[in-house]
């Protein structure tokens, strides 16, 4: 991958009204503890169910403690058409303009994320180890996350810290870290990148940072 196209961005493209409405809408939904794949799988095996509400209810103190070493934030899920109508065209444009040209055909529910004081998300990438195994749902079955998009909903004056960093980990250099502050910090900005790239959100040191995350799915190797 060409390093200059590790991500594509649209700075300050969404208006205050859209961001305000999304924050209000996200805050109106039931808030959950953000988990990671390993934690969720551990709970699923122990209690024998895949229901997210049950997973939240049955997380042990040890699992929660271990989780918060890697990820500490609060989320809710939104899947309203007006959100996709506004953001998906930018994802498709980035896919083309950046030269990735991934074949994508479905978008997961949007994750509304709240990072409060000292909350963060350590280095991670978004795809699961194997494609989704949902035989009854053709929108998911056999597919994986190919493109990730994050929308900056907060005014940068309302918080400090919480910087998004991307690490391409190319064969040439696995130590490069791209700080997206200049491109992504203005409110209403959208950053789009291949889901397999490692990235993190540094701890918030003041205020609250709101964002929205979308994932575009497609079949592997296409």
| Segments making up each domain of the chain, as ranges | 3-32+73-218, 35-71
Q: Identify the sign of the CA torsion 126, 210, 152, 157.
A: negative
Place of tokens 């203005």: 186
What is the model's pLDDT at position 1? Answer: 44
Place of tokens 């030269």: 99
Compute CA 19 distance to the chain's CA centroid, rounded to the nearest angstrom.
17
In the chain, which stretches have pLDDT less than 50? Answer: 1-3
Q: How is residue 189 written in tokens?
A: 């900005």
What is the model's pLDDT at position 2? Answer: 46
What is the model's pLDDT at position 43? Answer: 56
What is the model's pLDDT at position 54? Answer: 64
Of 1.10.357.10, 3.90.1150.10, 2.40.30.20, 2.60.120.620, the CATH number of 3-32+73-218 is 2.60.120.620
Euclidean distance between CA atoms 178 and 166, whole angstroms:
5
Q: How is residue 55 written in tokens?
A: 């997973």
CA nearest to 86, candidates 156, 10, 166, 195: 10
- Specify the DSSP class assigned to residue 135: T
What is the model's pLDDT at position 64? Answer: 78
Which SS3 state, helix, strand or coil, does residue 41 take? helix
| Distance (Å) of CA 163 to CA 12, 115, 133 | 16, 11, 33
Euclidean distance between CA atoms 180 and 94, whole angstroms:
16
Place of tokens 């196209």: 5
């Amino acid at each position: 991958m060409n390093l200059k196209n590790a991500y594509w961005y649209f700075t300050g493209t969404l208006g205050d009204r859209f961001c305000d409405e999304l924050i209000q809408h996200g805050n109106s939904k039931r808030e959950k503890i953000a988990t990671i794949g390993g934690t969720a799988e551990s709970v699923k095996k122990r209690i024998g169910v895949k229901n997210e509400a049950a997973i939240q209810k049955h997380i042990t103190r040890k699992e929660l403690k271990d989780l918060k070493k890697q990820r500490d934030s609060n989320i809710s899920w939104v899947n309203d058409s007006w959100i996709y109508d506004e953001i998906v065209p930018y994802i498709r444009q980035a896919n083309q303009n950046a030269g990735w040209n991934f074949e994508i055909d479905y978008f997961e529910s949007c994750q509304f994320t709240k990072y409060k004081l000292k909350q963060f998300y350590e280095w991670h990438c978004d795809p699961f180890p194997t494609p989704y195994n949902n035989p009854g749902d053709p929108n998911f079955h056999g597919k994986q996350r190919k493109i990730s998009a994050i929308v900056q909903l907060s005014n940068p004056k309302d918080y400090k810290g919480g910087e998004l960093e991307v690490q391409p980990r190319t064969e040439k250099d696995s130590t490069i870290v791209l700080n997206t502050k200049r491109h992504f910090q203005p409110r209403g900005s959208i950053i789009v990148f291949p889901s397999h790239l490692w990235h993190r959100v540094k701890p918030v040191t003041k205020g609250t940072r709101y964002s929205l995350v979308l994932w575009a799915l497609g079949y592997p190797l296409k």
